[in-house]
Amino acid sequence: MTMMTIAALQKAAESLLSSEKTDVPLLDQVVNVMNRSTGETQQLASKILTELKEQEGSWMRVDGILQFSQLMQTKYYALQILESLIQTRWKTLPREQCEGIKSFIVELVIKISSEEITDPQVKTYLQKLNLVLVQVGILDYYSFYAIAPFMSSACCLRMEELIPFFF
């Protein structure tokens, strides 16, 4: 992945901040600049990511980012957006959206856990996904038990990797 110039970052900002649909490869590039460059380019990339994160509907982009990003740091960034939603607005969301988010995360955890995990970054990603589920469970106690059937369907998939802090 090549580094972006200031002009390219400014163009990326326009595209990412003005569109409802996220250009995930472009977002990967901005995250890469944020993590690997210094100075003005890093500051601009940081500003873009902060503004994108603070947009009202940024959480609705998380599923696409988690599905299509090629960069683990971008997936971590998407989970930060989701964690912010859970901490600040979870109880005000319509139940259908809450259930959809939970189902998506549980399915993602099951999919990742269904294979042998040797990459430490993937293990960290799985742990972060688990933490998102725990945050939901804490805020929405009864809904957490609604997750149990999904988790129990994965019991033969190395449950200790699904929820490592319980084992």
For residue range 116-151, what is the model confidence (pLDDT) as tens digits? 889 999 999 999 999 999 898 888 765 545 555 655
**CB-side exposure of 93: number of CA atoms within 13 Å?**
22
Query: Within 10 Å of residue 57's Cβ, how many Cβ atoms?
Result: 8
Residue 167: the pLDDT is 46
pTM of the model: 0.81
Domain locations in the chain as residue ranges? 1-91, 93-167
- What's the mean pLDDT in 71-85? 97
111-142 in b/e form (b: 16+ CB < 10 A) is: ebbeeeeeeeeeeebbebbbebbebbbeebee
d(CA 143, CA 45): 37
Strand, helix or coil for residue 71:
coil
